[in-house]
């Protein structure tokens, strides 16, 4: 167990101090993009396509321009004059900023109306006349690969069909051989549907170009301000926007969840508009625009798991078809087009695995956008955890026992997985034992047997996942070539108070508190005396931002090491003040003292003051330090989740009775914040498991594009989450911490799915794809009855 080294006042690691940022939020003083109002403010609204696939025959701006207050209508043709009508995606595909001839998905941006106020801009957008020639959309990703399927991306040189890429990892031949000779093989096609990030705040920007200073300032709801600055410089350098003149400010964010990583076309249009007009242009996405653009998941996974007849897992194979819509806008590291999907071998020890994936184009909004996923770990974990349960059902073994018998043992770490990861640490057995004890597993097993005897449907579902977060080591991880390190810069002022800045950007995760706690831990300066600043590229050190639960593994480590650099400098100053040699100085949180004479000491505050007032000869004045942290490996958090459900046979209604989540994210900085992250993440896990899923008709129309028919769970739908943790520190992280924020969203869906399927298993149902709604359960039950 972790023991706090600091007092509650200092508030270092392990203290559940309240969030410093909350006073601002609770008093209505958060500062979001839409709160920015600049002199001469203009507003932009996008005209969007009603069709999924259509030729644009003409765009008539006249009626819109005749409206008082409409200043401009910007089309793809207008942008083409500056070669700004296309842009690269983060994975080096290309995406239209505005189309010049064809629209590729329903609700795609067609042109932009700029006006003096938002209402006028909306009127203007309605007055634009676009003449379309609709074409038959390709909606089904399997049909997109048919020989006679029309070529969706003729604009891409060398593109002869609708396949974007093929990816594979592992030993296909050996895996196939083991599967062919195994006692038991279970197979399933598992679909993880399209879902989207329904953050409370939608996306938006306020772009302002000053012709005199040639400076572009963009307030932007982005999780990665520095990366965006570099992308803008690379895309618009040729029109004179160079990187030192670009300032991206990411203010408070009302939820990012991955949806605020990409560059959306409207951002580029707003930047082009302010550049041309010379006045600030604001674009705030409305709720429906947010709902129908940019999706996560959409993986069709064919899985095979092979084992001996006693249930020793021998091999896993998964072949995936990924629907990316009309462009691959995944926000993944360049060498990892499928993200960290190859973590799909899970928490189990076996030798052979093979994963492959084909990505295809369809007439849908750009898919592959992240949603609390750790770069495709949600998909990977769902695949293996469903298959392990299927194997348990097949050989009639308790799913907990099957897991215990196959777990990687704690002595085996660092563990080289068959698909090439080096898991840093874990004690999977202890984590699952704790979850079983907390929920009362054995009692539920007994209760289930009794209920089944009475013909009642009760299910117990387990998920024991391994996560992979903290991208990443620069030798393997980059986005558009930029290495994925992260940074911290600390300035301790003469009075011993501090300001620290980071390359990451909180969207609600509580960085202003937890980074201050890390510095409090390392320096002994109370966390309340440390201001944390993120998100402004003019002031923050360069970093790749906050996603993939990487802030603690990367920037958190940078903070610790920068603080240690300061401590080393402080030692020299303390030696000078105490008139002893540096070797005679010892450190204890918050103060330096003379070895063997602890009464002779100087506090960190004394030392900070001396750094500005009484500097030892030859030493650089000031008390500041910076560190850019390039992690040696990723961190591998894990968890054991158990869910108990009851299902009503007559209606298919599902009642989640209990849900226990034990997470292991190594050493914890703030237990309360971690618990909050886990609660939120679990709710975003029950969402796709039981409620959310975007559906299309054959024409490519989105069928549930409003919150009236896309059910985002609220407190009413959420069960009481019971949480706990085990602690296996990361051996390579300076604080022994691992990331945690996405674990619950990764781990919850399979636990819930496994529980519901276990409940209906006595009726002969062996698999259900998420979202598992009452209607889906009811239909499956009727189908079984029809068979009998």
Give whichever of 428 and 547 is closer to ligand CUM, judged by the CB atom: 547
Say whether 742 is catalytic: yes
DSSP bridge partners of 256: none
CB of 234 to ligand CUM, least distance (A): 22
Contact between 373 and ligand CUM by CB under 6 A: the answer reads yes
How buried is residue 701: exposed, middle or buried, by Cβ count under 10 Å (0-12/13-18/19+)? Answer: middle
State the catalytic residue, choosing from 109, 385, 522, 742. 742
Interior angle at CA 380, CA 384 and CA 354, nearest 5:
75
Which of 230, 417, 605, 670 contacts ligand MCN by CB under 6 A? 670
| 3-state secondary structure (DSSP) of residue 451 | helix
State the catalytic residue, choosing from 373, 463, 643, 665. 373
d(CA 361, CA 326) in angstroms, rounded, equals 5
Q: Where are the alpha helices (DSSP H) in 282-376?
A: 287-292
Give whichever of 306 and 748 is closer to ligand CUM, judged by the CB atom: 748
Span near ligand CUM by CB under 6 A; candidates 41-49, 150-158, 371-379, 604-612: 371-379
Give whichever of 317 and 511 is closer to ligand MCN, judged by the CB atom: 511
Contact between 644 and ligand MCN by CB under 6 A: the answer reads no
Span near ligand MCN by CB under 6 A; candidates 232-240, 252-260, 610-618, 761-769: 252-260
Span near ligand CUM by CB under 6 A; candidates 149-157, 373-381, 647-655, 772-780: 373-381
How buried is residue 533: exposed, middle or buried, by Cβ count under 10 Å (0-12/13-18/19+)? Answer: middle
Report the site for ligand MCN in 507-526 (rule: CB under 6 A): 507-511, 514
Contact between 545 and ligand MCN by CB under 6 A: the answer reads no
Say whether 450 is catalytic: no
Give whichever of 257 and 361 is closer to ligand CUM, judged by the CB atom: 257
Q: Please, are residues 314 and 387 in contact by the beta-carbon 8 Å criterion?
A: no
Residue 638 CA: distances (Å) to CA of 42, 430, 660, 726: 48, 11, 14, 9
Residue 496 CA: distances (Å) to CA of 233, 523, 564, 565, 604: 38, 10, 16, 16, 7
Contact between 668 and ligand MCN by CB under 6 A: the answer reads yes
| 3-state secondary structure (DSSP) of residue 710 | coil
d(CA 664, CA 360) in angstroms, rounded, equals 36
State the catalytic residue, choosing from 95, 106, 108, 223. 223
Q: Residue 289: count other Cβ atoms within 10 Å of its Cβ.
A: 21
Tokens encoding 258: 């991955």
Span near ligand MCN by CB under 6 A; candidates 304-312, 449-457, 543-551, 573-581: 543-551
H or E, element range at 93: none
d(CA 360, CA 345) in angstroms, rounded, equals 24
Contact between 471 and ligand CUM by CB under 6 A: the answer reads no
Which of 362, 417, 546, 754 contacts ligand MCN by CB under 6 A? 546
Which of 336, 485, 527, 547 contacts ligand CUM by CB under 6 A? 547
CB of 13 to ligand MCN, least distance (A): 8
- Of all residues in the shown chain, the one whose CB is closest to ligand CUM is 258
Contact between 669 and ligand MCN by CB under 6 A: the answer reads yes
Which of 44, 548, 694, 757 contacts ligand CUM by CB under 6 A? 548
d(CA 8, CA 527) in angstroms, rounded, equals 10
Contact between 673 and ligand MCN by CB under 6 A: the answer reads yes
CB of 567 to ligand CUM, least distance (A): 32
Interior angle at CA 777, CA 458 and CA 766, nearest 5:
70
CB of 367 to ligand MCN, least distance (A): 16
d(CA 73, CA 445) in angstroms, rounded, equals 65
**Is the torsion defined by CA of 150, 151, 154, 157 positive or negative?**
negative
Span near ligand CUM by CB under 6 A; candidates 173-181, 320-328, 365-373, 732-740: 365-373
Query: Listing from the earlier edge strand, what are the strands of the sheet with 204-210?
Result: 70-75, 109-115, 42-48, 281-284, 204-210, 215-220, 246-249
Q: Where are the alpha helices (DSSP H) in 49-117?
A: 62-65, 76-80
752 binds, among ligand MCN, ligand CUM, none (CB under 5 to 8 A by kind): none
Span near ligand CUM by CB under 6 A; candidates 174-182, 257-265, 616-624, 773-781: 257-265
How buried is residue 536: exposed, middle or buried, by Cβ count under 10 Å (0-12/13-18/19+)? Answer: middle
**Is the torsion defined by CA of 71, 77, 79, 82 positive or negative?**
negative
For residue 620, say if its preceding peptide bond is cis, omega within 30 degrees of 0: no
CB of 256 to ligand CUM, least distance (A): 6
d(CA 12, CA 7) in angstroms, rounded, equals 7
DSSP bridge partners of 281: 42, 207
d(CA 741, CA 686) in angstroms, rounded, equals 15
421 Cβ partners below 8 Å, 6+ apart? 340, 342, 343, 468, 634, 636
Report the site for ligand MCN in 270-299 (rule: CB under 6 A): none
Give whichever of 49 and 549 is closer to ligand CUM, judged by the CB atom: 549
How buried is residue 211: exposed, middle or buried, by Cβ count under 10 Å (0-12/13-18/19+)? Answer: exposed
CB of 366 to ligand MCN, least distance (A): 17
Say whether 372 is catalytic: yes
Report CA 167 to chain centroid distance, whole Å.
22
Give whichever of 526 and 631 is closer to ligand CUM, judged by the CB atom: 631
Give whichever of 206 and 745 is closer to ligand CUM, judged by the CB atom: 745
What does the per-residue mask of binding to ligand CUM show for 270-309, with x meaning CB under 6 A? Answer: ----------------------------------------
Span near ligand CUM by CB under 6 A; candidates 135-143, 274-282, 372-380, 477-485: 372-380
291 binds, among ligand MCN, ligand CUM, none (CB under 5 to 8 A by kind): none
Terminal alpha carbon distance of the chain: 54
Give whichever of 250 and 509 is closer to ligand MCN, judged by the CB atom: 509
Using CA atoms of 521, 522, 523, 526 in order, give the dihedral in degrees to the nearest 10: -20
Span near ligand CUM by CB under 6 A; candidates 172-180, 283-291, 364-372, 757-765: 364-372
Contact between 629 and ligand MCN by CB under 6 A: the answer reads no
Span near ligand CUM by CB under 6 A; candidates 256-264, 515-523, 621-629, 767-775: 256-264
107 binds, among ligand MCN, ligand CUM, none (CB under 5 to 8 A by kind): none
CB of 166 to ligand CUM, least distance (A): 23
Which of 30, 69, 255, 473 contacts ligand MCN by CB under 6 A? 255
Give whichever of 11 and 193 is closer to ligand CUM, judged by the CB atom: 193
85 Cβ partners below 8 Å, 6+ apart? 76, 77, 79, 96, 97, 98, 99, 100
State the catalytic residue, choosing from 48, 194, 297, 372. 372
In terms of DSSP bridges, do strands 246-249 and 215-220 run parallel, antiparallel, or are they unpaired? parallel
Contact between 258 and ligand CUM by CB under 6 A: the answer reads yes
Contact between 741 and ligand MCN by CB under 6 A: the answer reads yes
How many chain residues touch ligand CUM (CB under 6 A)? 13
Q: Residue 204: count other Cβ atoms within 10 Å of its Cβ.
A: 24
Give whichever of 354 and 547 is closer to ligand MCN, judged by the CB atom: 547
Q: Any idea which residues carry the catalytic annotation? A: 223, 372-373, 742
Binding site residues, ligand MCN, CB under 6 A: 255-258, 372, 507-511, 514, 546-552, 665-666, 668-670, 673-674, 677, 680, 737-742
Q: Would you tell me which residues interact with ligand CUM (CB under 6 A)?
A: 223, 256-258, 261, 370-375, 547-548
């Amino acid at each position: 167990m972790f023991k706090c080294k600091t007092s509650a006042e200092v508030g270092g690691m392990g203290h559940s101090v309240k969030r410093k940022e909350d006073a601002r939020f609770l008093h209505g003083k958060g500062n979001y993009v839409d709160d920015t109002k600049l002199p001469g403010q203009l507003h932009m609204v996008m005209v969007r396509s009603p069709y999924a696939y259509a030729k644009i025959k003409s765009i008539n701006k006249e009626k819109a321009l005749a409206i008082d207050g409409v200043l401009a209508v910007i089309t793809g043709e207008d942008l083409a004059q500056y070669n700004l009508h296309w842009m690269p995606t983060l994975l080096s595909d290309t995406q239209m900023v505005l189309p010049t001839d064809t629209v590729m998905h329903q609700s795609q941006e067609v042109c932009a109306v700029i006006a003096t106020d938002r209402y006028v801009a909306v009127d203007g957008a309605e007055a634009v006349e676009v003449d379309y020639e609709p074409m038959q959309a390709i909606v089904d990703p399997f049909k997109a690969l048919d020989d006679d399927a029309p070529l969706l991306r003729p604009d891409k040189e060398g593109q002869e069909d609708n396949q974007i890429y093929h990816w594979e990892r592992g030993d296909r031949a050996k895996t196939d051989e083991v599967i062919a000779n195994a006692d038991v093989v279970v197979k399933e096609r598992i679909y993880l549907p399209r879902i989207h990030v329904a953050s409370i705040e939608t996306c938006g920007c306020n772009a302002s170009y000053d012709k005199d200073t040639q400076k572009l300032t963009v307030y932007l709801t982005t999780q990665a301000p520095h990366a965006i600055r570099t992308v803008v410089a690379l895309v618009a350098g040729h029109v004179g926007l160079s990187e030192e003149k670009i300032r991206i400010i990411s203010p408070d964010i009302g939820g990012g969840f991955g949806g605020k990583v990409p560059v959306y076309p409207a951002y580029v249009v707003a930047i082009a508009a302010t550049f041309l007009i010379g006045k600030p242009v604001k674009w705030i996405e409305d709720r429906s625009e947010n709902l129908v653009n940019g999706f996560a998941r959409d993986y069709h996974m064919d899985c095979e798991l092979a084992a001996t007849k006693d249930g020793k897992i021998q091999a896993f194979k998964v072949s995936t078809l990924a629907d990316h819509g009309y462009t691959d806008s995944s926000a993944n590291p360049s060498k990892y087009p499928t993200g960290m999907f190859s973590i799909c071998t899970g928490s189990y020890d076996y030798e052979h695995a093979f994963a492959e994936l084909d990505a295809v184009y369809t007439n849908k909004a750009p898919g592959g956008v992240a949603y609390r996923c750790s770069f495709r770990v949600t998909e990977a974990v769902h695949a293996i955890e469903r298959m392990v349960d299927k194997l348990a059902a097949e050989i009639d073994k308790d799913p907990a026992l099957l897991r215990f018998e196959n777990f990687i043992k704690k002595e085996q770490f660092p563990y080289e997985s068959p698909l090439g990861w080096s898991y840093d640490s874990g004690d999977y057995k202890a984590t699952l034992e704790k979850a079983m004890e907390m929920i009362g597993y054995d009692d539920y097993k007994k209760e289930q047997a009794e209920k089944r005897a009475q013909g009642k449907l009760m299910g117990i579902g387990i998920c024991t996942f391994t996560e992979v977060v903290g991208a990443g080591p620069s030798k393997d991880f980059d986005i558009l070539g930029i290495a994925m390190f992260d940074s911290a810069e600390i300035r301790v002022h003469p009075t011993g108070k501090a300001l620290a800045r980071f390359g990451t950007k909180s969207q609600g995760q509580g960085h202003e508190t937890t980074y201050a706690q890390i510095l409090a831990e390392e320096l002994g300066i109370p966390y309340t005396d440390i201001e944390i600043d993120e998100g402004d590229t003019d002031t923050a050190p360069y970093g790749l931002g906050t996603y993939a639960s990487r802030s603690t593994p990367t920037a958190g480590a940078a903070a610790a090491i920068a603080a240690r650099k300061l401590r080393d400098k402080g030692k020299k100053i303390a030696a000078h003040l105490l008139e002893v040699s540096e070797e005679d100085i010892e450190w204890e949180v918050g103060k330096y003292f003379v070895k063997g004479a602890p009464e002779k000491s100087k506090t960190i505050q004394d030392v900070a003051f001396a750094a500005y007032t009484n500097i030892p000869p030859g030493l650089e004045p000031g008390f500041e330090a910076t560190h850019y942290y390039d992690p040696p490996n990723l961190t591998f958090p894990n968890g054991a989740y158990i869910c108990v459900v009851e299902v009503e046979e007559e209606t298919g209604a599902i009642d989640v009775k209990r849900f226990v989540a034990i997470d292991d994210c190594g050493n914890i900085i703030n237990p309360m914040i971690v618990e909050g992250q886990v609660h939120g993440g679990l709710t975003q896990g029950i969402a796709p498991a039981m409620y959310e899923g975007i559906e299309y008709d054959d024409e490519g129309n989105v069928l549930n594009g409003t919150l009236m028919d896309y059910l985002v769970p609220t407190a009413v739908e959420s069960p009481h989450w019971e949480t706990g943790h085990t602690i296996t520190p990361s051996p390579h992280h300076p604080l022994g911490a691992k990331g945690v924020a996405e674990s619950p969203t990764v781990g919850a869906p399979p636990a819930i799915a496994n529980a519901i399927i276990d409940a209906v298993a006595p009726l002969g149902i062996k698999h259900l794809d998420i979202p598992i709604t009452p209607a889906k359960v009811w239909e499956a039950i009727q189908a079984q009855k029809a068979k009998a």
